[in-house]
Amino acid sequence: MTTLLDIAEVSGRSGISPSGLRYYEKRKLIEAVARNGLRRQYEPTVLQELALINLAKSAGFSLDEIGSVLRRPGTAVIPRDALVDKANMLEKQAERLVNLAKMLRHVADCPHEDHFECSRFQKLLKVATKVWNV
């Protein structure tokens, strides 16, 4: 028999508040399998499910999208095409942010009084325009 985890232990180990765990349960992202008095009890696998939820949220997936992956607690049908699309989007976003950081650094350090007279600034503007209009 598997030892169940109390909601407080799951909260402590996952870093997700008890109210957050109850919310995820309400959204059918996780499932309490028993109760000890009024306290929810979870299978140890809930920690993996919560790690997957956190990873997906960090990648920009909505809870509805995450819910479609966790069709029922304890299983995950990971849509590989959606992950590739999200990874591509994150790479484009990272490129945009790197270019923006370069632009900001140049503007801060540029010796030209008028930035529009600076050839490097002009090049950075062209790159930024291409990247941000993708």
Rounded to whole angstroms, the Cα distance separating 70 from 50 reads 11
**pLDDT over 90 at 8, yes or no:** yes
Q: Taking the complete model, does pTM exceed 0.85, yes or no?
A: no
Query: What is the set of domains in the chain, with CATH numbers?
Result: 5-69 (1.10.1660.10), 80-132 (no CATH)
Segment 37-82, tens digit of pLDDT: 989 999 999 999 999 899 989 988 899 888 887 765 555 667 788 8
Q: Which residue has the tokens 């590739």?
A: 84
Nearest residue to 96 (alpha-carbon basis) of 127, 120, 64: 127
pLDDT score, position 10: 97
Q: Would you call 17 helix, strand, or coil by DSSP?
A: coil
Structural contact between residues 86 and 61, judged by C-beta atoms closer than 8 angstroms: yes
DSSP letter (8 states) at residue 26: H
Structural contact between residues 24 and 53, judged by C-beta atoms closer than 8 angstroms: yes
